[in-house]
Amino acid sequence: MFLFKRVIDYFKWEKVSFMAHSVGAMYSFTYTMFYPDKVNFLIFFDGLFYVFKQDTLAKKMSRTIDNFLRYDNLMTTKSLPPSYTYAELIELQHTGSLKSIHADCAKYILHRNIKSVDSKPGMYQFTRDLRLKVPTLMRWTEETIVESAKRVKCPLFFSLGKSSYLRKTGSFPVMQNVLNTIRQNNDHVHEYHLEGTHHLHLNTPEQLYPLVNEFLSKYYRDDNC
């Protein structure tokens, strides 16, 4: 949230709009709850927030801190990271996402996350910051998220894959409760449940772009993007 606010303040943007997937959508939704009058509209693919039970909150937060420090130590060591063939990277993306990312679409993710190894022709390394794998420390209970969601008054586009892993988590019923709560004071909630996985926007974008274009044609303005 500090980085969100710093960037927005640096560019002197009076209001912003967000298009985000998964964790990016969770951060964007949190910012909107904090600053509801500073957001024009939201476009979220398979992400809104993640709810934690009160009795497991402290345990999960301590695990988050430990994991962050572990990855931070790895990032600051001088040892070379592992290298892979391109085919191995494709398989890692596919299986690492529990096959949510189709193998033939993994290249789009890899394009921004790898570099070739000069000393090993045909081999590649990940360039991503491992610390980004660690969940945020801003954990919400159901009561807090439902109450805070009442502050969201801007247009909201939300899509969820019918085979998304989010449907199997405890957050899914709360997600529906939150969307219904927002609707009580907001007539501009557009919710879609589409065939596909958590990464349907990557695997089958043709399902989404007509819906997103329709949403943008209704709410996008050049002077308030």
Taking the model in full, what pTM does it have?
Answer: 0.89
Model confidence pLDDT, tens digit, residues 112-166: 999 999 999 999 999 988 888 787 766 778 888 899 999 999 999 999 999 999 9
Let me know whether 42 and 60 are in one domain.
no
> 41 with 70, same domain?
no
Partnered with residue 45 across adjacent β-strands are 21, 159
Residues 26 and 42 in one domain: yes
124 and 65 in one domain? yes
88, 198: one domain: no
Whether 46 and 151 map to the same domain: the answer is yes
DSSP string, 37-79: GGEEEEEEES-S--B--GGGHHHHHHHHHHHHHHHHHHHHS-S
224 falls in which pLDDT band (50, 70, 90)?
low
Mean pLDDT of 178-204: 97
Count structural domains, the chain: 2
Radius of gyration, alpha carbons of the chain: 19
Average the pLDDT over 18-33 and give the result. 94
- The pLDDT value given to residue 221: 82
The 3-state DSSP class for residue 120 equals coil
194 — phi, psi (to 5°)? -120, 155
- Residues of the chain above pLDDT 90, percent: 72
102 and 153 housed in the same domain: no
Residues 118 and 86 in one domain: yes
**What does the pLDDT average to over 37-64?**
86
Q: Which domain holds residue 197?
A: 2-51+140-171+183-205
CATH number, position 17: 3.40.50.1820
Both 187 and 81 in one domain: the answer is no
Lowest mean pLDDT among 8-12, 51-55, 105-109, 132-136: 51-55
- Same domain? 144 vs 43: yes
**So what's the pLDDT on residue 80?**
77
